Amino acid sequence: MRERRFPDGFLWGTATAAYQIEGAVSEDGRGPSIWDTFSHTPGKTFEGHTGDVACDHYHRWPEDVRLMQQLGTPAYRFSIAWPRILPQGTGQVNQRGLDFYDRLVDALLQAGVTPFVTLYHWDLPQALQDRGGWAERETVEAFAAYADIVARRLGDRVKHWITHNEPWVVAFLGHYLGVHAPGLQDVRVAIQVSHNLLVSHGHAVQALRAAVPDAQVGITLNLSPVRAATDSEEDRLAAQRYDGFLNRWFLDPVFGRGYPQDMLEQYGELAPTVEPRDLDAIAAPLDFLGVNYYTPAFVRHDPSEANLLNLALLSPEELRAAGYETTEMGWAIVPDGLYELLTRLLHEYAPRVIYITENGAAFADRLVAGEVRDPRRIAFLRDHFAAAHRALQEGVPLRGYFVWSLMDNFEWAHGYSKRFGLIYIDYETLERIPKESYAWYAEVIRANGLVEPGR
């Protein structure tokens, strides 16, 4: 038998986000968010899918908590929908929105599940977007006020707080590529937004610490090792630029180093306006770093496209031709990338604690005779858990691992066409059907690691 046990108290979990699972978009006083607007705009999401109903978690949460309890997960990461708490983004607080999360937190704690709360997982109140959204400092201050309101209500029971989920995605997919809400395509705005998000993170950290003195506070970044397509000097430099764009642009300021010089030079006059004390705010000491890892980025120099960085990412076809297995998202499956990323973080940034706040895979799951067999997801998770275990052996302070996702859900622009869940959702009936990977993960949690035949 080969045993890979994780440290005692390791927090195995699952993760979700409000807009992806809740539905009930007009209930109990919730205001509209930018994702309501975006998903209802023709042509923006797969077959016009929206989060109007999603998994109906807003009504079915007791069942979902029971499923977590059966799974045996000691932790659950979910996000709060800002427009449920402040329908206009600022001002009048909607108590019914807070009540929903209050009940959820109580039920989780009763089920023995530690809640990890993310404050911003992309559903900005539309009212704030109407006044310029994340491009404006008003939204930075509004976020800190919202953090304070939520922390005061839940902070007696919630001790783990994540300010932002994947600010790179918000800034660049939302404001440069325009494939996420609010759907803008303005690189200057996108870069300013990336800065404003980080400043808002810093201000929210202060608000959280003031309201919940024993809080553990972190930020979740989507990070990837970057690999050059070839050994050529040009591709190597392209990989360095992409690393600056995706990883270092966020890690460096959060860890107190300011923005990376090479990227400031790269952006030139597009570099963001930074106000005095912004960098100090962004560098507020953190209790943990949240890491979302799915795949490395494979990059080649590409001057032909008039893009920001003169580079291109390899396509799924190219990745498969190079021998990589890919998921339904077209992402290469590279468990070693997780090891590489975690050990790099240890050596270059030395975070106090790391949680893997998301890792998982979409596959074309099918419900057959009432069952969903998903051996590829099991293999994916097994190999990534093994990579995380290897990183632990090297001293990486990894304390928990949240599988994305508890259940199939609204995969943003892909709508419901991509399934990441351990639990299958029948979108006709909203029935929850645990997949084979759910039972397998329950065993991992019970054993606190991987116990497999072989050496």
Distances (CA, A) of 376 to 53, 125, 127, 362, 422: 28, 37, 42, 10, 12
Tell me if the bond preceding 32 is cis, omega within 30° of 0: no
Residues 333-372 that bind ligand IFM (CB under 6 A): 358
Do residues 154 and 215 make contact, with C-beta atoms less than 8 angstroms apart?
Answer: no
147: left (phi over 0), alpha (psi -120 to 50) or beta: alpha
Kindly write down the DSSP assignment for every residue of 393-413, as one continuous string: HTT--EEEEEEE-SB----GG
220 near ligand IFM, rule: CB under 6 A? no
Question: Least distance in Å: CB of 16 to ligand IFM?
Answer: 8
Name which of 115 and 415 has its Cβ closer to ligand IFM: 415
408 near ligand IFM, rule: CB under 6 A? no
Question: Least distance in Å: CB of 443 to ligand IFM?
Answer: 24
Contact with ligand IFM (CB under 6 A) among 38, 58, 259, 404: 404
Question: Least distance in Å: CB of 419 to ligand IFM?
Answer: 11
17 near ligand IFM, rule: CB under 6 A? yes
328 near ligand IFM, rule: CB under 6 A? no
Task: Provide the CB-side half-sphere exposure for 118 (13 A, CA).
Answer: 27
Question: Least distance in Å: CB of 175 to ligand IFM?
Answer: 17
Residues 416-455 that bind ligand IFM (CB under 6 A): 420
Q: Site mask, ligand IFM, residues 229-268, x = CB under 6 A?
A: ----------------------------------------
Name which of 292 and 437 has its Cβ closer to ligand IFM: 292
Name which of 90 and 405 has its Cβ closer to ligand IFM: 405
What are the φ/ψ torsions at residue 131 (nearest 5 degrees)? -105, 15
Please give the residue whose beta carbon sits closest to ligand IFM in the complex. 17
How far is Cα 315 from Cα 312, in angstroms, rounded to an integer? Answer: 9
Q: Is the dihedral of CA 143, 149, 154, 159 positive or negative?
A: positive
Name which of 56 and 411 has its Cβ closer to ligand IFM: 411
Kindly write down the DSSP assignment for every residue of 329-364, as one continuous string: T--B--HHHHHHHHHHHHHHH--S-EEEEEE-----
Residues 19-38 that bind ligand IFM (CB under 6 A): 20
163 near ligand IFM, rule: CB under 6 A? no
Q: What residue type is assigned to position 263 of the chain?
A: M
Catalytic residue positions?
A: 166, 358
411 near ligand IFM, rule: CB under 6 A? yes
Tokens (6 digits) for 291: 């890491």
Name which of 267 and 402 has its Cβ closer to ligand IFM: 402
Quick one: 156 exposed, middle or buried, by C-beta within 10 A (0-12, 13-18, 19+)? exposed
Do residues 35 and 51 make contact, with C-beta atoms less than 8 angstroms apart?
Answer: yes
Name which of 340 and 358 has its Cβ closer to ligand IFM: 358
Contact with ligand IFM (CB under 6 A) among 73, 292, 327, 359: 292
Q: What residue type is assigned to position 380 of the chain?
A: F
Binding site for ligand IFM (CB under 6 A): 17, 20, 166, 292, 358, 404, 411, 420
